[in-house]
Structure 1
């Protein structure tokens, strides 16, 4: 095994860490933590539980960012000390430990660097994800359900709370569509690179002749609306229909007309909600998602206008962004980043961090090229 050039490697890591600190704005983080800590200490904080939850959640997230930077700074310093001690005492075992720690710190820096690339206007928001089955019949509906499970498992593995807002089941199997929230900071920034058309190639379990089937599903990711966004929707622009919630195969899960379908008349955007207990709750959830979609649409229109003025007519996203091939070989490939994963079972069980990270790096490169 070739000897590790520790001074050069550590210098490289320190350079990466310095860049991360600069982008992270440590002084700004410290000021934000101090201000939020003062808010959290207010005796009347929990008079408004929803506002209090937002303050404590944001404080926890910002404090975690600071702590993470502090831990990495300490690990870099400890690594230098370990290398110096090992070289002074000519201790190969300690040098081996230093090599392992070097790789561990490198990995931690790479993960932290991803967070610094989430600099879009809404990247720090929570996410609302909608999955719709596309071409491919019952296989497409089944694929939509597989994707929903994949994202929910990904959130579970990362400790991100989720809330299913709406599920529309297909007649034979799978889902026509589903909408859920991922309630964690930066979940929109991370999951927004998953938006687009996903393709599945496999031997269809629904074909009695065992033929290969290609099916499609669409993933939409929008940032969760906040009260400060001020997306006002006049009442005369909204059509609201109520209906009875239903489960798989049409089985009734509610004996009252509590489900809500909300249509934004000017744009034709339709949002359905049925997983809350009351019509009022479903209406509030539908309005929140509708506002989020209009907010994202407004941002996309602004970006399109900027590109038009700049003479850039390239599409940011292709119609098909990822393929999941289960036959005749096993591979998941992102068609934008060319990142490949051979363990398809792991990917479909939520192991998509590497795919998401490569997508974030790709997007950052696209933004830099367009700047």
Structure 2
């Protein structure tokens, strides 16, 4: 077994730390925190609870980011001292502790680095996620429900607030579709790399002959709209239908017409909402999701125009982005990044950070290559 190179390990940590500190601009981050602290201490802040929540959330996220970065810098200094101590006293236990700490700091810096890559226009916002079952019949509906649980467990693992806003249940098992919102800083930036078609291969629990079944589900991720987005939706462009909310198997949730379906006539986008008891609340929530989707549509159209002006840029996402195989072997593999794991149950239990991080790095590389081609 090769002896661990402490000098190289510490040098790599300092290099990565310097790169991150430069990308983040610690002085600018401290200035941002100071500005947010002034906003947070304003006497009338909580007169507008929604804005107050945004200010305090952004302040908390900025403070946490600064603490993580400065803490990592301190840990590098400490581990360097630990290595010197271990060498002076020829203490192998101390050197083993230093080696473990170097690996731990390396992972911490890798996590911080991911945050620096979330620099898209809407990356820091909350996310609205919609899952729809695709080809595969009842297996696909069951698969869509498994994915819903996976993402809700992911949010739970991180302490993020997640709220299911609408669920359309399938007749036999599973769901036709579901929409949920994740409220956390950079929720959209992280979850946006999960958008695309997810494929499941397994022995169908619904097939009495025990045959292998391939099922598909689509995941759509959009940023939550804010008042400053100015997405104008005239009343003449929408059709609003109301109906009674329902649960699995047609069980009535209530007997009032509180559920709302909004159809955007120019684009054909349909949004349903039945989480709230009030029709007014459901309509407001449905309009927010509709505006989010129109915001993404506008962004895509702008990107398409830029692409036409710049020529053919290789920066597109494949439709089928991840494959989950339970038979004849256990494997989850991302078809864009190549990242894979055999720990399928852990993935279904929400352990998907490695896939998300790999997706963020892949997307960043794609953007860099696209920009280089456009400028060439």
SS, match of residue 262 in structure 1? strand
| 2:114 aligned partner | 114
Say whether 1:85 aligns with 2:85: yes
Say whether 1:245 aligns with 2:245: yes
Residue 2 of structure 1: how far off its partner (Å)? 2.2
After superposition, what is the alpha-carbon deviation per residue over 1:244-294, rounded to whole angstroms, capped at 9, x for unaligned?
A: 100001111011000000111111111000011200000000010001001
After superposition, what is the alpha-carbon deviation per residue over 1:111-146, rounded to whole angstroms, capped at 9, x for unaligned?
A: 111111111111111100000000000000000000
Contact 2:313 2:370 in 1 (8 A): no
Runs ≥4 residues deviating over 3 A: none
Residue 81 of structure 1: how far off its partner (Å)? 1.1
Give the Cα–Cα distance (whole angstroms) in 1 for the partners of residues 143 and 58 of structure 2.
Answer: 35
Work out the number of aligned pairs and report it. 371
| 2:22 aligned partner | 22
| 2:125 aligned partner | 125
| 1:370 aligned partner | 370
Residue 314 of structure 1: how far off its partner (Å)? 4.1
Give the Cα–Cα distance (whole angstroms) in 1 for the partners of residues 95 and 304 of structure 2.
Answer: 54
Give the Cα–Cα distance (whole angstroms) in 1 for the partners of residues 74 and 295 of structure 2.
Answer: 41
| 2:340 aligned partner | 340
| 1:257 aligned partner | 257
| 2:143 aligned partner | 143
Once superposed, what is the RMSD of the aligned Cα atoms?
1.0
Contact 2:131 2:179 in 1 (8 A): yes
| 2:374 aligned partner | none
Residue 362 of structure 1: how far off its partner (Å)? 0.8
Residue 175 of structure 1: how far off its partner (Å)? 0.4
Q: 1:156-167 maps to which residues of 2 (within 5 A)?
A: 156-167=156-167
SS, match of residue 345 in structure 2? helix
1-10 or 323-332: which moved more?
1-10
Name the CA shift for 1:184/1:151 in 2 (closer, same or farther; >3 Å): same
SS, match of residue 221 in structure 1? strand
TM-score (norm 2): 0.97
Gaps of 5+ in 2: 372-376
Residue 39 of structure 1: how far off its partner (Å)? 1.1
Give the Cα–Cα distance (whole angstroms) in 2 for the partners of residues 275 and 326 of structure 1.
Answer: 33
| 1:200 aligned partner | 200
Gaps of 5+ in 1: none
Give the Cα–Cα distance (whole angstroms) in 1 for the partners of residues 193 and 171 of structure 2.
Answer: 30
Q: 1:45-56 maps to which residues of 2 (within 5 A)?
A: 45-56=45-56
Give the Cα–Cα distance (whole angstroms) in 2 for the partners of residues 18 and 315 of structure 1.
Answer: 29
Give the Cα–Cα distance (whole angstroms) in 2 for the partners of residues 298 and 254 of structure 1.
Answer: 36
TM-score (norm 1): 0.98
